[in-house]
Chains A and B, each alone.
Chain A
Amino acid sequence: MKKISDRTVIHVITATGIASVATQLVTIRELLAQFQGNEFVIALILFNWLILGGAGTLLSRIFTGHSRLATPEKLAWISFTLLCLSVFQVMAIRELRDVFFAQGASVGFYPTLVYCFCTIAPYSLVIGFVLPYSLFVIRNIIPSCPGARVYIADNIGDIAGGALFSFLLVHLTTPFQSLLLAGLPLLITACLLFPSETRCRPKPVLGAGLTLAVLLSGVLLEYRTLAPLQGKLAFYRESCYGRIEVHQDREQFTLFLEGKPVYSNNNPALAEETIHYTMAQTEQTRHILLISAHSGIMKELEKYSPDKIDYLEIDPDVTSALFRFGLLKKINGLHIINQDGRAWLMNSKNVYDAIIVSLPEPETFQLNRFFTDRFFKLAKQRLSPGGVLGFSVKGFENYLPEPQRQKISSLFNTAAESFRHIIMLPGGNIFFLCSDTLITADIPARLNEKKIQTNYISSFYYGNVTTERIASLNELVDRDQPINQDLSPSLIRLMFSQWFLKFSSSPAGFAAILVVIFLIYLLRITKEEFVLFSTGCMNMGAEILVIFAFQIFFGYIYLQIGLIITIFLAGLLPGAWLGETFIQKKRGTLVITDIMLIIVTGFFIAAVYSFGDRLPVFFYLFTGFLFSIACGCQFPVALHLSGDSDNAAVRMFSADLVGAAFGTIAASLVLIPFVGIIWTAVILLCLKIISLLVIILGYGK
């Protein structure tokens, strides 16, 4: 019987990398659409992914000493299983949500954590298992094959998968189509793992055929699995910024972004409040800037006959859906600009009489950047004398709970840094009206003067927004609440508290369990494993840092998340190659790479602190690349230092993954929300200093 070559196995490993990264990115987007679309959920997904991957890797230890049991045929069957699991995973995420949680209900931290864990567990365990297993298969063919060869092949696949998804699939395909296309190379190469004389026998043919059928069934059921329980799916698009759906229920169209209803027709109250509260204040109403929009607002804006309306919406697919389904009306003077609102304010020279922001709650870093001191400064620069900025956040019916009080206080204090007069109007949304000229809360009276007819405001304002309610809201502002800044996003922290309050839970229990587990783990690992643990932690921590910093300054993470992850993967490959090249100078290489990580982190801190949003995109990608080169370099060296046996390889892979999981969760859930970007980077830098000391002191001279 003709033996399978090691090259075939290497091809399978690379193809596994391609399929797994695409699956990971599709899964992140899917879970974001099913749960809160915020960075915390991204962190939970990555954490679960890495922990389960680490567990899968450890599972492969049962083969150490029995690696003869690892055969190419079995690897082929594992590959088929993986491909099927990728489809089942996405289907499970979509279908089981409504089984475990009440239809239409949002879900708290712990249920999200458990749901993510359970739905991605089968795939993640197998993907974690398959890499060391592939090494055992190769070593059955070439016993002296270095572990780093598998690591490099996997990296090549990861980079290719990341690039394929970020540059092609995310723009052109739906999630199941992505899984099919990214999975095809693995399906084909896995078939080659069967010896040529058995390849056409019923079992392999049936296995490959069934796998292909499963991949295709995902594509066929794409729309079906997205269909709403109420009404029908009138429109569906996976834009590079996220999922857009329009549901039609009778005469009503509702546009959902990331699974949440954002725009719906027949909502005159919000449209009137958004436009008239701001427009009532200003004498001039010629030039208006809208940053995003609520449905129906153009009709209200039209009443002022403005000369020019610049309407900024980053996602062209959202604007086209809004106009197509009548959620927004095209009116005279309207200019639709598909650009990031903040970038527009920075680069435009236009001056506006009113700037109206209609964005959802600042519960992500992307949205938070429209509620920071820097944003308010930029907005003020673009306002004419007497111009008004209007924006809103979620309000309350009858009682303002503490985290929300702190939130509006922080917003008030932040806006007060730029504007002399601010009024908050209570209601379902709390409206902030900011200007350097006096502002009135008697909106109906102003609208009467301007002869503007309204339906909701003229009928309900005096009953809902009473002077007593306005006064008590404005009295509740805590002037000592810290302001909200790009690099120290106090609102994100408060939104996080509010999220926990709403679900009557606390992250403290989860944090305590994690700390205990990690402490036990740290006490049990070797020096080499600690170095790789810290490297994994640094690499993912830095990746999260770059994702969040990128999000804060550029705000379009959905488009770029694949690119960032790809860049971080891309650096690992030359890093691993360098590590292999300098493998003889083990300790020196580890020291140099640790010093390099410390310097790059220091450089990142200095640059972000000094230049903030003036840094180009390239800066983040380049620093990300440098981080990952240094981290990639350390893996083969540490592996070599620990003996490069099967057992050592498994332990090293695990240390890297566990460190990465810790880095992800610590950076995103604890450090960045509580101490901000700069201090998180400082803490990561300190971790690497400890690792450097371990190398220097642990190995002597």
Chain B
Amino acid sequence: MSAGAAPASAFLHFEEKVRKMSGPTDIRGKIFKGKAPKSPWKWSKEGFLYSKLDNNKVICGICPNRCLLEPGDRSVCRSKVNIKGTLYTLAYGNPCAIHVDPVEKKPLYHFKPRSSVFSIATTGCNLRCLNCQNWEISQTMPEKVRYNELFPSDVVKRARETNSESIAYTYSEATTYFEYMIDTARLASDQGINNLWISNGFINNRPLVELCSVLDGANINLKSFSDTIYRKLNGGRLKPVLNTLKTLHEHDIHFEITTLVVPGYIDDPEMTKKMCSWILNNLGPDYPLHFSRFSPRYKLERLPPTPVSTLDSFRDIAMTEGIRYVYLGNVPGHKGNNTYCHNCGKMLIHRLGYNIPEYYLKGNRCKFCKTKIPGVWKA
């Protein structure tokens, strides 16, 4: 080595280290001090599952943030407020986004394919993902958006009118409007409409168990398998999400898992291997796993999209580990959009976007080898 090479190499090593210590290590949201309205409004309801403390303080018990609110404070998710010692939700009956979507868009590939889903959201989220695709509603307060008045009975009525087989609590984070969701879900369940929970899974066990009693399906966004990345990219934590997956499994709810593969953060094959191994050991091989392609959005707009071959390799890893149904999202026309029987390997559902030109399931069984395919299928 020449005399100059050692300092140069030391500099390059130092430089690489410096560049990898990227950004803040925890972007968890904070309580909004003094940001509660003076009194509840028409779309308020007293919060479920909260505790009253001394000096009119309250603790919200819905999600692991466990916001401790003094009178006048607003929760991390921006939907809960402490007004004179009572916890209120400000997101009850005032959805700001209402659409009818194909169920595949959630994504739910093993839940009544080709069915329509009446989808609603109010504002709010308990995480702070830098790449949020619905930041316009997840990172704002209920009072700051245009909203519709749609109380639970109206939601069920509209779902019927639009021939939707299910209602999805989606787009922002449904956990933050838990009271609205569960009241609507109970009514819907009574009338034979399915309830779908599209969530980051950052919820406490007690409300989740309550929710499970009316839930038919869920898609949980497992954002990564690293607590460090959860804190850095999403402002959350990994363990509560894993607990959610276990609880859903214990309650025999059909759910699918989605992981967005963000370049530079969530594209480590070793981490994926560990994640798949955890899923296999704790949940079994039958829950569909979706790897979605990232494209620049919200604050994370200086990263390139995920290379398709990275997704391919993740699919291979997951299938090699033993997960039976692994899909690729945001890659139109890829074979990873189709469903193949885990027993005979034949294609059961050919998906072209939201179209299904070929469908080889009879009830819940493979038409070819009669193997039972996990999911909720139409008779």
Contact = CB atoms under 8 A, between A and B. Distances in A.
Interface of A: 95-96, 98-106, 221, 224-225, 229-231, 247, 249-252, 254, 256, 259-261, 264, 266-269, 396-402, 404, 428, 455-456, 458-464, 466, 468-469, 502-504
Contacts of B101: 463
B271 interface: no
A99 B304 contact: no
A463 B145 contact: no
B333 interface: yes
B307 A502 contact: no
B169 to A, nearest CB: 13
A251 B309 contact: yes
Interface in B288-321: 295-296, 298-305, 307-310
A398 B264 contact: no
B200 to A, nearest CB: 15
Contacts of A103: 22-23, 264-265, 303
A504 B304 CA distance: 25
A250 B302 contact: no
B5 interface: no
B184 to A, nearest CB: 18
Nearest to A103: B22
Interface string B14-29: 0100111111100100
Contacts of A106: 299-302
A399 B96 contact: yes
Given A459-B333, A504-B139, A230 B353 contact: no
A252 B305 contact: yes
Contact of A502 (B24, B267, B299): B299
B305 A398 contact: no
A254 B15 CA distance: 24
A701 B137 CA distance: 65
B171 interface: yes
Interface string B341-362: 0000000000111110000000
Contact of B134 (A269, A398, A463): A398
Contact of B97 (A249, A268, A399, A463): A399
Given A261-B296, A468-B99, A102 B18 contact: no
Given A252-B308, A397-B134, A104 B302 contact: yes
B136 A396 contact: yes
B196 interface: no
Given A251-B309, A399-B136, A105 B302 contact: yes
B232 interface: yes
Contact of A252 (B296, B302, B304): B304
Given A95-B19, A466-B100, A459 B303 contact: no
Given A100-B23, A396-B136, A399-B97, A105 B354 contact: no
Interface in B264-297: 264-265, 267, 295-296
Nearest to B15: A95
12 contacts: A95-B15, A98-B22, A102-B232, A105-B300, A224-B12, A261-B302, A399-B97, A399-B171, A456-B333, A459-B355, A463-B105, A504-B139
Contacts of B309: 250-252
A103 B176 CA distance: 28
Contact of A398 (B97, B298, B351): B97
Contacts of B310: 249-250
Contacts of A104: 263-264, 296, 300-303
B179 interface: no
B355 A264 contact: no
Contacts of A268: 332-333
Given A103-B22, A459-B352, 18 more contacts: A99-B19, A99-B23, A102-B24, A102-B233, A106-B302, A247-B304, A266-B307, A267-B295, A269-B332, A397-B133, A397-B136, A398-B171, A399-B96, A399-B171, A401-B145, A456-B353, A461-B353, A503-B299
B135 interface: yes
Contacts of A225: 15
A458 B300 CA distance: 29
A537 B260 CA distance: 50
A102 B23 contact: yes
